[in-house]
Structure 1
Amino acid sequence: MRFEIGDKIVYPNHGAGTIIGIETKEILGDEKQYYIMELPIGDMRVMIPIDRIDEIGVRGIIDEEEADQILALLKGDKSKMSQNWNRRYRANMEKLKTGDIYEVGGVVRDLTIRDEEKGLSTGEKKMLSNARQILISELVLAKDMDEEEVIDIIDNAFDNNPHIEEEE
């Protein structure tokens, strides 16, 4: 699939952004074309090799209807997860690597609920933070909202999640 300047895309493990340019760079004597993607969060730019976008899993962003489905997913039941943090970490890492927004949303939901119930290891806290950033970046573009609005919507989804037990 070929993208154009102005297209909104998702780069797995980095999140969503807008293509602001296409550049040719010579690296180690090899000339390649790159998409220059600007992320809506953190004022970051990423260079994506055009000849590897399928292999990397670059895709267009979801539409607003799918964004609403993702927000509904956050209110759902936690998936069955291994009690072993190492297995759980690896399973969640595999889900994030797919770049599938539903998998990312599931990781955010599951780790948020687990954090509320039992707490998370340092590695899982970092994973949750990264997964939230990936989710937020795509929802910002899909819903045409700013970062704070999207964070509030996500936080409200968890505040109203019946699957998170309130502390007495």
Structure 2
Amino acid sequence: MFKIGDKVVYPMHGAGIIEAIEEKEVLGETRQYYILRLPVGDMKVMIPIATCKEVGLREVIDDDGVERVFGILRDKSTNMSENWNKRYRANLEKIKSGNIYEVAEVVRNLINRDREKGLSSGERKMLENARQILISELVLATEMAEDNAKTMVESAFA
């Protein structure tokens, strides 16, 4: 169980800080919820404590994890399907997994593909979403400003 002040990652939304633990009635059922504030995008999310494991709520990566992320970003891209639909579904599964290293792969692969062949509008939106998730976790893991995290991610591709 997490506590107030913990830095956690909510797959598909990104990293945030647990601001409160509240009991709320939703659809006639009273449950306890983590109230998560996502600093990137300034959004609040309620996550039922009973289902936080199933949705993949986890702690933010440590310094070694940050180094590993930047290693992935600097690495060559992995083979992706030439079929847009297969590629899109594979990338979506990686983002949904909540695994920051898989999200970093998606960011790296899509940025490299964009440079080589360009991206469809769907893949461009996916890249922005994956980049936002990645940056939100880096901001909390390193306690740096969002702009600095964006710059560091971009410089990994220079």
* TM-score band, normalised by shorter chain: over 0.9
Equivalences for residues 67-86 of structure 1 within 5 A: 67-86=66-85
Matches of 1:83 and 1:56 in 2, distance apart? 30
Residue 28 of structure 1 corresponds to 27
Query: Residue 43 of structure 1: CA displacement?
Result: 1.2
Residue 12 of structure 2 corresponds to 13
Number of equivalences: 158
Q: Secondary structure of 1:56's partner?
A: coil
Q: Which consecutive segments of 4 or more residues in structure 1 shift more than 6 A?
A: none
TM-score in terms of structure 1 length: 0.93
* Deviation readout 1:6-29 (Å, 9 max, x if unpaired): 000000000000000011111111
Q: Secondary structure of 1:79's partner?
A: coil
Matches of 1:109 and 1:147 in 2, distance apart? 19
In structure 2, runs of 5+ residues without a counterpart are none
Equivalences for residues 51-70 of structure 1 within 5 A: 51-70=50-69
Q: Secondary structure of 2:41's partner?
A: coil
Residue 99 of structure 1 corresponds to 98
Residue 151 of structure 2 corresponds to 152
Matches of 2:82 and 2:95 in 1, distance apart? 19
Residue 38 of structure 2 corresponds to 39
Matches of 1:123 and 1:7 in 2, distance apart? 33
Query: Residue 68 of structure 1: CA displacement?
Result: 1.4
Residue 124 of structure 2 corresponds to 125
Query: Residue 42 of structure 1: CA displacement?
Result: 1.5
Equivalences for residues 127-142 of structure 1 within 5 A: 127-142=126-141
Query: Residue 155 of structure 1: CA displacement?
Result: 0.5
Q: Secondary structure of 2:119's partner?
A: coil
Matches of 1:86 and 1:149 in 2, distance apart? 33
Matches of 2:39 and 2:71 in 1, distance apart? 23
Matches of 1:73 and 1:96 in 2, distance apart? 15
Please identify, of 54-63 and 39-48, the stretch whose mean Cα deviation from structure 2 is larger: 39-48
In structure 1, runs of 5+ residues without a counterpart are 160-168
Q: Secondary structure of 1:16's partner?
A: strand
C-alpha RMSD of matched pairs (Å):
0.6
